[in-house]
Amino acid sequence: MDNVIDIRGISKEFKEFSFDSIDLQIKQGYTTGLIGANGSGKTTLIKLMMNLLQPDEGEISVFGLDYATHEKAIKDRIGFVYDSNIFYESLNLKEISKIIAPSYKQWDRKKYKAYIDQFELPLKKPIKHFSKGMQMKASIAMALSHHAELIIMDEPTAGLDPTFRRELLDIFQEVMVNENRSILFSTHTTSDLERFADYIILIDQGEILISKRMDELQEDYALVKGNSDLLDRDTEAYFLNIEQSQGVFQALTNDKAQVQKVFGDYIVMEKASLDDIMFHMKAAHRRG
């Protein structure tokens, strides 16, 4: 099986944006990062993948199975981390594990306990007294404790301090040593993805702007800087988006060879970070 998630032609209308016949594949055995500004549709897309929302049209299959007939089997194989607390607030971690353990075929009590220890979480304190970071840690501990083949996380690093974020990325990589596992997570912190993600999906207003291998993305796109005098209608065509200030422009291109040929030594070409790509692609998309 090549794709762990296969989305074909889904459409759904919302107030702020709509998905219009979206196709998207998530590769099995790899880490995929989902990026986009606030309100771009990341969480909605994840909800559709988790069958928490249903599309008006189109199909979603996970592990090659469809939700209509295999919901329970699919969910059993997914570890899900949601960006807000979905647990019973007055319960503690020990009580919660008793409630959720029976719903998974392969709940691993030892593993759960090990993560709780590693994350330094109190077992007997009600969740409602947890900080945001602690709640996230608890949610991650549960998602990783039932031998899930697919880990889906909505903003798992939000509210976490940099030290723990780094620790967490190590844990994800540990998970990925097993080649049957796949991870999909959305994040604002693109530096989390720069080295560790295999695939990147960039969305804006419900539209997929980029879905590509991370290494190809880094090779194809570049940030170009130069004097604004260089720009006219013809030369602007080589850029996806251009920002100008004080006589200097900064632009994004995905045609490095052509830009080098046309502008030569008059410009400086740099590696575009994921933040640069996200910023310029969003601006270009909003401009229409």
Rounded to whole angstroms, the Cα distance separating 42 from 185 reads 10
Taking the complex as a whole, the smallest distance from the CB of residue 218 to another protein amounts, in Å, to 8
Taking the complex as a whole, the smallest distance from the CB of residue 126 to another protein amounts, in Å, to 35
Among 7-15, 29-37, 91-99, 222-230, the segment contacting another protein (CB under 8 A): 29-37
- What is the C-alpha R_g of the chain? 21
Binding residues with another protein: total (CB under 8 A): 21
Measured from the CB atom, the residue of 164 and 196 that comes closer to another protein is: 196
Of 176-195, binders to another protein (CB under 8 A) are 176-179, 195
Q: Contacting another protein (CB under 8 A), which of 16, 170, 229, 243?
A: 170
Q: Contacting another protein (CB under 8 A), which of 6, 24, 26, 31?
A: 31
Rounded to whole angstroms, the Cα distance separating 210 from 215 reads 13
Measured from the CB atom, the residue of 196 and 279 that comes closer to another protein is: 196
Site string for another protein, 218-257 (x = CB under 8 A): xx--------------------------------------
Taking the complex as a whole, the smallest distance from the CB of residue 4 to another protein amounts, in Å, to 14
Residues 6+ apart with CB under 8 A from 154: 42, 43, 46, 81, 82, 83, 185, 186
- State the chain's maximal CA–CA distance in angstroms: 67
Q: Contacting another protein (CB under 8 A), which of 198, 207, 220, 255?
A: 198
Taking the complex as a whole, the smallest distance from the CB of residue 85 to another protein amounts, in Å, to 30
Among 46-54, 173-181, 204-212, 254-262, the segment contacting another protein (CB under 8 A): 173-181
Residues 6+ apart with CB under 8 A from 74: 51, 62, 63, 65, 67
Q: Which residue has the tokens 């990325």?
A: 169
Is position 30 an interface residue for another protein (rule: CB under 8 A)?
A: yes
Taking the complex as a whole, the smallest distance from the CB of residue 254 to another protein amounts, in Å, to 17
Amino acid at 195: R
Taking the complex as a whole, the smallest distance from the CB of residue 253 to another protein amounts, in Å, to 18
Type and span of the H or E element at 194: helix 191-194
CA distances 273 to 32, 42, 250, 277, 278, Å, are 17, 20, 13, 6, 9
Residue 119 — φ and ψ, nearest 5°?
-85, 0
Q: Which residues pair with 25 in a beta bridge?
A: 6
Q: Contacting another protein (CB under 8 A), which of 8, 29, 100, 273?
A: 29
Type and span of the H or E element at 250: strand 248-253
Measured from the CB atom, the residue of 158 and 269 that comes closer to another protein is: 269
Measured from the CB atom, the residue of 134 and 214 that comes closer to another protein is: 214
Q: Is 87 within 8 Å of 95 (Cβ atoms)? A: no
Residues 6+ apart with CB under 8 A from 78: 50, 62, 148, 149, 150, 151, 152
Chain residues in the site for another protein (CB under 8 A): 29-31, 169-170, 173-174, 176-179, 195-199, 213-215, 218-219
